[in-house]
Structure 1
Amino acid sequence: MRFYIVLELVCLAALTAKADKDLRQVFKDWKVQFNKNYGGGLRNELARFRQFKKSAQTIEYINSIQSDWVAGFTLFADMTDEEKAAFTGLKLNDTALESNLEIDPSPLDPTDPEKQYWDMGPVKNQWSCGSCWAFAAVGAMEGRHLKEHGEFRDFSEQTLLDCTFEGRRDGCTGGWSELAINWAGTDSKISHSKLYGYLPIRKDNKYRWSDGECTDLKKPYNNALRRAKPLAYLASYRSRNDAGLQHALATEGPVEVDIYSSWALPFYTTGTYRGDGCGTNPTPNHAVVVAGYEKDYWYVKNSWGSWGYSGYAYFSRGWENLCSISARRKTIEWWPSSEWKICTDTHPSERTPCDSSANLNQEVCQARGCCYDSNYAGTAAQCFIKGKVTIYDDEGKRRVLYASAEEFSQFEFSYYGKAAQVEIGSWKLFVEDDYYGDYKIIKPEDGKVTFDFQSVQILNN
């Protein structure tokens, strides 16, 4: 009898050793994928691997109890619970929370479309600074600016991080998205104009994942919010349910919401997240943007880099107020300026320089504030500003990227999805896909595209 027990223990040890060896290879490949380079020598490496093993057990458990979504080795796989918590950062005033967050479902508005998606700016990463509130504020304002004005503005999260709570608190320890939006729209000294708010674009004040001095007040950057003044506030009690969130998405644009990020959410990769670990009406700890919806899910933009569907997640609508997603949505009022001038108020980075070697006149504006050669026969047609890429992944789900033609010239379409549609000015490129057979295929062998920058026309639409 003792012989068989010893044999079982030996076999178990052998299986454990093999599993550890296999997991070490997974860990090695994962470090390359996420560019993980640990300091502190072998001891730190072993500590991270032990945490990776814990994550492997959590991932296996999640995938064993449900099949709606897939948990995997994400950016967070080697992090402790405290380190993962640093990627959230929403602060709530407990006295401002209603004692009863039970919000009764109500009928959907029959005038709402069956589905709605809003074009959004690029997904970004807040890293280990609790600045989700600033990223959600920027994401909502970028999406709203696109909706209202048809132009993408890459706003600066760093400005909101530096300035919203200047002299009062460290923004990396958390904050409130509505205060950030209101600082940009009405509360800062720079945005006191009756005509427009203040928020520079990102390249003027790049993200440094730490709260610094609000230098904007001393020497303002180029103002990218001259088109409007935003104002944000908590939605009314009656609309704080899934029906209210859908109607806001259908009529207002992308919506900033506060959610509860549970122990399971950091491991989300694909599928429709069903709120594992959220419980019933938990207190929110994270700010995100809902960028669209369909009958069965919300389309959620996060601030954790390439996590999930290239930065997005699909939250199930099978449960009312899943992870508190509709209980604390923010309403953004967008007050357009009637005196915005495209020639003088367009940011310099969005004006295409003309060919100076031709020694011809250079002028700014016409269609959308880009620079053109006034002596050229095409006049205002020889320039470009921003373009967009629509990507469809293996499941036919969609996301949109906005950037300049230069940034898209070496874009790896094949890496991001099965299908891609590029629109820059009047030029359109359709990459081969399995979902939309009518696409015209203009695809180089390596999946990259080179644009002739000075021949892309801006359409006035």
Structure 2
Amino acid sequence: MAGSKAFFLAILGCACLCSSVLAVRELSDVAMVDRFERWIVEHGHVYEDAAEKARRFEVFKDNVAFIESFNAGNNKFWLGVNQFADLTVGEFKSTIANKGFKPISANVPTGFKYENLSVNALPTSVDWRTKGAVTPIKNQEQCGCCWAFSAVAAMEGIVKLSTGRLISLSEQEIVDCDTHDTDEGCGGGWMDGAFEFVIKNGGITTESSYPYKAVDGKCKGGSKSAATIKGYEDVPANNEAALMKAVANQPVSVAVDAGGRTFMFYSGGVMTGSCGTELDHGIAAIGYGVESDGTKYWILKNSWGTTWGEKGFLRMEKDISDKRGMCGLAMKPSYPTEQK
């Protein structure tokens, strides 16, 4: 009798425990649904139907779990639930990172005017934002033209340094009008190609005169030039010291591998650790510095709006053992030369 009673109590206890676990799980799901609904409103997402929304919710849950697990670890940077939280890594790579970037296999050799500078004579930190050479963060949205945003950021910097004027230049003019060779607007391109276009075009107009539409459009010929460049040069490949020389003197276009999950959800701190080198995204190096713990980093301007990263910017570890740099950022940097 005593044995039967003990068995009954055990079954009852198990049932209560299972019921409690289910209740907690249900409460957790309710909280996650509420979080998802608030995220949808925040980012203005609209889904085709209930089935698509349900599928996106499952992806959202998985991404949130990854982000929270990563942030619980001992890392120098942290992740956030940003505008990409309903995308799988594969979708992100094909629509946000890889889409719109076509790195050329080989560059035509150029000069490097900063070659003879001594790294030891360079300042320990540089931030072109504090010198008024960086425009506010922009957002390429669904158009695969990161290459145009990267090139424009570098050109805005050299125009400021050459003329004293910070002018927001038009990515859309490049998207619409630079459609030759490897450059195909929202279909992809390369920063050096954008520089070549501006030189041949006799300049580039302002953002306000030729506003960004995030789609391929018909070239509006005859736009009034607001600025132009003399030429462009490529930084010696796989050489962070050479890149430092260039960035100490002006903002520089760089290419990175942005297809990783940590890059996708980067929210702040100095990105460290392993990273790929399959270049799939163009951004701009606008400075460098050193953390209080001695970690050296690059300051990078992205084109995914202010809800990504440090209000649109990124800090990435500098001077790592891999000569290609973190995420390959030292593989193919380039910069425009002075305004004519």
Instruction: Using structure 1 for the length normalisation, give the TM-score.
Output: 0.61
Aligned to 2:102, which of 86, 91, 108? Answer: 91
**Aligned amino acid, residue 43 of structure 1:** A
Counterpart residue number, 1:370: none
Give the superposition deviation at 1:168.
7.0
Counterpart residue number, 2:318: 317
Distance in structure 1 (CA, Å) of the matches to 2:167 and 2:300: 20
Inter-CA distance 236–173: structure 2 relative to 1 (3 Å threshold): same
Aligned to 2:208, which of 203, 218, 231? Answer: 203
Counterpart residue number, 1:120: 134
Counterpart residue number, 2:110: none
Native 8 Å contact 1:200 1:221 kept in 2: yes
Counterpart residue number, 2:113: none
Larger relative CO (CA 8 A, sep 6+): 1 or 2?
2
Distance in structure 1 (CA, Å) of the matches to 2:283 and 2:199: 19
Distance in structure 2 (CA, Å) of the matches to 1:302 and 1:66: 25
SS of alignment partner, residue 229 of structure 2: strand
Q: Does 1:229 align with 2:229?
A: yes
Native 8 Å contact 1:52 1:78 kept in 2: yes
Counterpart residue number, 1:284: 279
Distance in structure 1 (CA, Å) of the matches to 2:138 and 2:269: 21
SS of alignment partner, residue 86 of structure 2: coil
Native 8 Å contact 2:183 2:193 kept in 1: no
Q: Does 1:21 align with 2:30?
A: yes
For structure 1, which segment, 77-86 or 45-54, has the greater mean C-alpha deviation from structure 2 after superposition? 77-86
% same residue: 28
Unmatched runs of 5 consecutive residues or more in structure 2: 1-6, 108-116, 291-295
Q: Does 1:184 align with 2:179?
A: no
Distance in structure 2 (CA, Å) of the matches to 1:205 and 1:42: 38
For structure 1, which segment, 263-272 or 63-72, has the greater mean C-alpha deviation from structure 2 after superposition? 63-72
SS of alignment partner, residue 44 of structure 2: coil
For structure 1, which segment, 25-34 or 301-310, has the greater mean C-alpha deviation from structure 2 after superposition? 25-34
Distance in structure 2 (CA, Å) of the matches to 1:90 and 1:66: 33
Inter-CA distance 73–208: structure 2 relative to 1 (3 Å threshold): same
Q: Does 1:329 align with 2:333?
A: yes
Counterpart residue number, 1:64: 72
Inter-CA distance 83–163: structure 2 relative to 1 (3 Å threshold): farther
Unmatched runs of 5 consecutive residues or more in structure 1: 98-106, 192-197, 338-461
Inter-CA distance 288–167: structure 2 relative to 1 (3 Å threshold): closer
Aligned to 2:87, which of 75, 79, 87? Answer: 79
Distance in structure 2 (CA, Å) of the matches to 1:181 and 1:207: 18
Q: Which has the higher strand share?
A: 1
Distance in structure 1 (CA, Å) of the matches to 2:81 and 2:144: 22
SS of alignment partner, residue 326 of structure 1: coil
Q: Does 1:130 align with 2:172?
A: no
SS of alignment partner, residue 175 of structure 2: helix
Inter-CA distance 8–173: structure 2 relative to 1 (3 Å threshold): farther
Distance in structure 2 (CA, Å) of the matches to 1:207 and 1:45: 29
Inter-CA distance 293–214: structure 2 relative to 1 (3 Å threshold): same
SS of alignment partner, residue 278 of structure 2: coil
Count of aligned positions: 305
**Aligned amino acid, residue 234 of structure 1:** D
